[in-house]
Amino acid sequence: MRLLKSIYGMRQAGRRWNQTFHKAVTEWGFQRIPCDWCVYIRRTPKGTVIFAVHVDDIFSIANPPEENARFRDQLKSLWDISDLGPAKFALGIAIERDDDTVSLSQTAFIDRILEQFGQSDAHPTDTPMVAGLQLRRPDKSSPIPPEVAEWIARTPYRELIGSLNYAAVATRPDIAFAVGRLASFLDCFREEHWSAAIRVLRYLKGTKSLSLVLGGTRPSSLIGWSDADYANCKDTSRSVSGYCYSLGGAMVSWRSRKQRLVADSTCYAEYIALHESSHEAMFLRQLLDALDFPCRMSTPIHCDNDAATRLAEDQVFHSQVKHIRVKLHAIREHIDLGELEVTRVRSADNIADILTKALGRPDFLRLRGYLGLRDFTTRSV
């Protein structure tokens, strides 16, 4: 039996839909941005239209607005669509706009997972993770007691981490480190890991009114921060990298992850973090350039390690760093071309520090303010 067309839910259905959609919009004059195949742009003498597509959800902007209406009519000519007007809520994210800013928040999503995991009446916490908390993987050689195995089977740890991860990726960089650390125990969690995950949820309850505020009166220049916490993982001796990039006063990109290599010094760990950060910087520069907002100046990446900063600029300490993999030195080429610039910053002023370790309350709240998170109603830190 042969199918004449793709059916929703089949493995190839998404690909077939994307191919059909791409063929249609390119015939209308749209071009796919090379660095992100989910973003399209059309430039004509009448104006410019930019849209992003997520499965079958489309978000578009245009100048003048008439070009947006023309794009909408073109979509209606081929498919039945629902025009929801100005975006207010999408993919679990609430969107608010005023004259200068756009605010993104997930209050409703947080309320839903609080109810789902029975924490609606829990007491909030000030930080997502206890400062200095060291979580370990259980000993694999020891048999799991039957009562522990039964508790593991009925505890929705993976579901909770998945929900927390969506918040961390979408609008809440302040929980990125905690969620990334807890995600490394999906196959071996115990009660201490579950308690730590519930603490992140309790933190979200107390801060659910925070929103990521983009825009404002500050210059829209791309600025990055990079950091590493040496040998943070006690099970593997691997370090944790963190980076974040702001554009006009709030973070538009961030990441916290365990490094794939074991670094034998803080310099090496910080250099690996710079390498990973430089990839994101180049992607963001390409994206802005494709959207007609080119970065005419080099993008600064703030780093708090003198040795890593000097190593990125020149081949100093040659005899001590011959073991560093060649691919990590690619950042030097970007610096030579004037695309990136590694800048020394005090450790206390490195915003990426919040993405590499569990901080105490004063430092955590101070750095959280620099992420662009503001209260949903008062816009206070």
Q: What pLDDT digit, counting tens, does each position of 260-271 carry?
A: 888 888 988 998
Domain that includes residue 39, residue range: 13-85
Pairing of β 36-44 and β 31-33 = antiparallel
Least confident span in 19-23, 283-287, 328-332: 328-332
Residue 376 in this model has a pLDDT that exceeds 60: no
In the listed set 153, 181, 206, which residue is the last one of a domain according to the structure? 206
Same domain, 222 and 200: no
Same domain, 199 and 334: no
Same domain, 301 and 248: yes
Rounded CA-CA distance 330/344 in Å is 19
Structurally, how many domains does the chain consist of?
A: 3
Q: Which of 42-46, 216-220, 231-235 has the highest mean pLDDT?
A: 42-46
Rounded CA-CA distance 325/206 in Å is 44
Pairing of β 299-303 and β 340-344 = parallel
pLDDT confidence of residue 7: 64
The better pLDDT of the pair 115, 13 is held by: 115
In the listed set 85, 117, 149, which residue is the last one of a domain according to the structure? 85
In a domain, 100, yes or no: no
Same domain, 322 and 352: yes
| Residue of 165, 360, 135 lying closest to 233 (CA atoms) | 135
Residue 16 in this model has a pLDDT that exceeds 90: no
pLDDT confidence of residue 312: 81
Same domain, 202 and 229: no
pLDDT confidence of residue 130: 95
Rounded CA-CA distance 362/215 in Å is 26
Same domain, 56 and 125: no
In the listed set 206, 228, 249, which residue is the last one of a domain according to the structure? 206
Same domain, 69 and 125: no
The CA–CA distances, whole Å, from 164 to 186, 198, 232 equal 13, 10, 21
Pairing of β 299-303 and β 222-229 = parallel
pLDDT confidence of residue 379: 47
Same domain, 63 and 137: no
Same domain, 341 and 241: yes
- The pTM (predicted TM-score) of the whole model is 0.90
Rounded CA-CA distance 376/381 in Å is 10
- CA angle at residue 113 from 111 to 115, to 5 degrees? 70
State what percent of residues in the chain have pLDDT above 70.
Answer: 92
